[in-house]
Amino acid sequence: MSSLRVLFLVIVSGSAANMEITNVSEYEAIAKQKLPKMVYDYYASGAEDQWTLKENREAFSRILFRPRILIDVSKIDMTTTVLGFKISMPIMIAPTAMQKMAHPEGEYATARAASAANTIMTLSSWATSSVEEVASTGPGIRFFQLYVYKDRNVVEQLVRRAERAGFKAIALTVDTPRLGRREADIKNRFTLPPFLTLKNFEGLDLGKMDKADDSGLASYVAGQIDRSLSWRDVKWLQSITTLPILVKGVITAEDTRLSIQNGAAGIIVSNHGARQLDYAPATITALEEVVKAAQGRVPVFLDGGVRRGTDVFKALALGASGIFIGRPVVFALASEGEAGVRKVLQMLRDEFELTMALSGCTSLSKITRNHIVTPSELNHSISRL
């Protein structure tokens, strides 16, 4: 090989290794390269045709801005208060399961990064670190995502442990009476690697996941999760905890009203990262219906497809009090551990601040519905021409 060719290869491979990350989406390709296929596919996949997965992103790209100009934006305040807790920005961390499959530090790294950014982390029921272990990483405002098991003693114990460990709210997942059909997991015979456990359930004999003929997680859910969960159980949950309950997985006005009637302290508009019911609308499309039905009585949050600061702004303009990010965190974790998660939060923060500046908004309360235009409004104004 000529020395010129060797030099070229060194430069090319060197630059690939040090590829500068300039937006959160770029972590996915690195994670795909680093992770075993079974793990990458588990994090990345949506349900069935993955229509909703694509739509969660595309629906954001159809919303355009109506920026205001000549406003002094030399100071921008992104702080906000969620359920009474002051945080540095309306960007929080969604629950994603089994983070130690992505990186040995798993949920510890995520907890530290969230706390360094002064924002909220939501820990999954199916974490590979327990509520106590995550609490031991240091101070931080944390929510606990809850799956309701058939055995209510298990749920009671877990909720009490989360309370004692200082978690501040329960995000009750309501869209998973059965697991969505994730075909990659079926093909890969997905299961939790044997050196890991669902740490919160370790002492309860529910921490392991057996291998199955299809998805090991789907079988686990079929065996353990309560399909009969109903509004009555939202009330029951309030009888066993004083923590505020966020109902996670609402995408209609009807369920918004029922959530409020049944004591929800807030609503998370979520389609479970497009992993449950395919052809459910993008969360950014469903958001305004939920916000209108909530009538300001409880805060409404959103997860699903947020990859840019402009997405955060669009969600707030449509009435969200904040957003949660899921996949960007696991992909960054896989790529660079805690440093990656810190960087994801910082990049989204910077982009969001820039969006506010370029739209003429100096604080979150200045972001209004008039700062954006949705596809139906665009069609309407075009048809009037």
Active site residues: 272
Q: Which of 263, 316, 321 is nearest to 296 (CA)?
A: 321
Q: Is 96 within any annotated ligand binding site?
A: yes
Residue 326 is assigned to a ligand binding site: yes
Q: Which residue, 215 or 241, has its beta carbon nearer to ligand GLV?
A: 215
Number of residues written out for the chain: 385
Of 275 and 342, CB closest to ligand GLV: 275
Known binding residue 95? Answer is yes
Task: In angstroms, give the least distance from the CB of 234 to ligand GLV.
Answer: 19
Q: Is 232 annotated as a binding residue?
A: no
Looking at beta carbons only, is 327 or 342 nearer to ligand GLV?
A: 327
Residues between 111 and 130 that touch ligand GLV (CB under 6 A): 126
49 is in an annotated binding site: no
- Which DSSP helix (H) or strand (E) runs through 65? strand 64-65
97 binds ligand GLV (CB under 6 A): yes
**What per-residue string of b and e applies to 49-61 under the rule 16 or more CB within 10 Å gives b?**
ebbbbebbbebbe
For residues 102 and 43, give the distance between their C-alpha atoms in angstroms, rounded to a whole number. 9
CB-wise, 47 or 78, nearer to ligand GLV? 47
> Binding of ligand GLV at residue 142 (CB under 6 A)?
no
Shortest distance in whole angstroms from residue 7 CB to ligand GLV: 46
Number of residue whose CB is nearest ligand GLV: 97
Which one of residues 57, 103, 168, 275 is an interface residue with ligand GLV (CB under 6 A)? Answer: 275
Q: Are 289 and 320 in contact (CB under 8 A)?
A: no
Closest CA to 246 of 78, 92, 60, 44: 92
Question: Using CA atoms in the order 245, 118, 287, 251, what is the torsion angle rounded to 10 degrees?
Answer: -40
Residue 12 C-beta: closest distance to ligand GLV, Å? 37
Cβ distance 325 to 351 under 8 Å? no
Work out how close the CB of 225 gets to ligand GLV at its nearest, in angstroms, rounded to a whole number.
10
Q: Which of residues 234-273 bind ligand GLV (CB under 6 A)?
A: 272
Q: Label residues 194-224 b or e (16+ Cβ within 10 Å = b).
A: eebbbbbbeeeebbebeebebbbbbbbbeeb
Give the footprint of ligand GLV on this chain (CB under 6 A).
97, 126, 272, 275
